[in-house]
Amino acid sequence: MNILIVGGAGFIGSHTAERLINKGHHVAIIDDFSTGNEINIPFINHNDIFSIKIPVLHKRTIEDLMIERLFETRKFDAVVHLAAQVNVRKSIDDPLSDSISNISGSIYIFELCRKYGVKKVVFSSSGGTVYGESNVLPTPESHVKRIPSSPYGIAKLTVESYLNYYITNDIFNAVILRYGNVYGPRQTEKCEAGVIAIFLRSLFRGESPIIFGDGDKTRDYVYVDDVVDANELALDLEWNACNTFNIGTGKETSVNDLFNKINNKFDNKFTAIYEKERAGELERSCLDISYSRNYLNWSPKTNLDDGIQKTYEWLKEKEFN
């Protein structure tokens, strides 16, 4: 299969690219390297790396022409869209910029898929934001949607609605994956959702990590290799009425419990610093993954303790040797 990964030099994107290449697919990537890094993709041919920023829909630019030329010449079978402005704080401070990156940029890619006959789109949405403050935990895909608590979440839900328009009108097939809080090797501190990477790097540097609020907020932490499994299965999925899947573990972990697990790797010698709670944060988030098991044939393989250990070992070898 000839596949374009948008955001392919990033954390999840690079793991996905590596897996698909190892499975024999031809993979090209677009990345503006705002959070991605060429260090993540030594396995990809440099002729398949395109450092291009996705343009705004109404603004015809050289980058715009370059991306369209890429679609025209490469004739992609599928697009895996993993690129986003991922900082919730930034989306609150600058909703317009967030919407340009996450809504307009996505529609631009989808319109090129329409124009050049791409058959399948896999989109990374956010199970941690689109449901808002849910009163059903774990939260299923069918749960009534509340207004997300951040522009970032609103953007993800908006892009999902656009994709369902393309699906309903038989323009192309699409699978929406609502990730929990993804973690693992290659994650940077640039993404605030990467609390495991943030905590580990702080402790490796001998610094006490900061916890915002009382530390009782919960999230559903899912290991990156399991997310890549879901991406791969989504590419192979035939059209299915259930095109939206939660990708998590179905288990809640508080920030305090997470810190304790990580601190244990350092003989419990650190004490967290608690600061004022930040706006836009959910109290609890946990994803029901029943649909994913039944219709995507996916379930997580890596428990949190093992995933933290793997991330710890990778960071120790790559950054703190």
pLDDT digits (tens, 9 = 90+) for 85-109: 888 888 889 999 899 889 999 999 9
| Pairing state between β 2-6 and 273-275 | unpaired
pLDDT at 297 (0 to 100): 95
pLDDT at 272 (0 to 100): 97
Residue pLDDT, tens place only, 111-149: 999 999 999 999 999 998 888 888 899 999 998 767 788
**What is the pTM assigned to this prediction?**
0.95
pLDDT at 209 (0 to 100): 95
**Could you give the angle at the alpha carbon of 175 between the alpha carbons of 92 and 90, nearest 5°?**
10
pLDDT at 7 (0 to 100): 95
Q: Average pLDDT in the 289-295 region?
A: 96
Q: Does 57 have pLDDT greater than 70? A: no
Q: Does 224 have pLDDT greater than 80? A: yes
Identify the CA nearest to 100 among candidates 202, 32, 27. Answer: 32
Catalytic hit among 108, 116, 131, 152: 152
Tell how far CA 276 is from the center of its chain: 26
Active site residue 223: no
Task: From the options 3.90.79.10, 3.40.30.10, 3.60.110.10, 3.40.50.720, give the CATH code of 2-181+223-249+287-302.
Answer: 3.40.50.720
Q: Does 60 have pLDDT greater than 80? A: no
Identify the CA nearest to 10 among candidates 212, 167, 228. Answer: 228
Q: Average pLDDT in the 244-263 region?
A: 98
Q: What percent of the chain has pLDDT over 70?
A: 95
Over its C-alpha atoms, the chain yields an Rg (Å, rounded) of 19
Per-domain boundaries in the chain? 2-181+223-249+287-302
Q: Average pLDDT in the 11-32 region?
A: 96
Q: Does 192 have pLDDT greater than 80? A: no
Higher pLDDT, 278 or 226: 226
The string over 177-203, giving b where at least 16 C-beta atoms fall within 10 Å of a residue's C-beta and e elsewhere, is bbbbbbbbbbbeeebebbbbbbbbbbb
Q: What is the distance between the alpha carbons of residues 246 and 208, in angstroms, rounded to a whole number?
A: 33
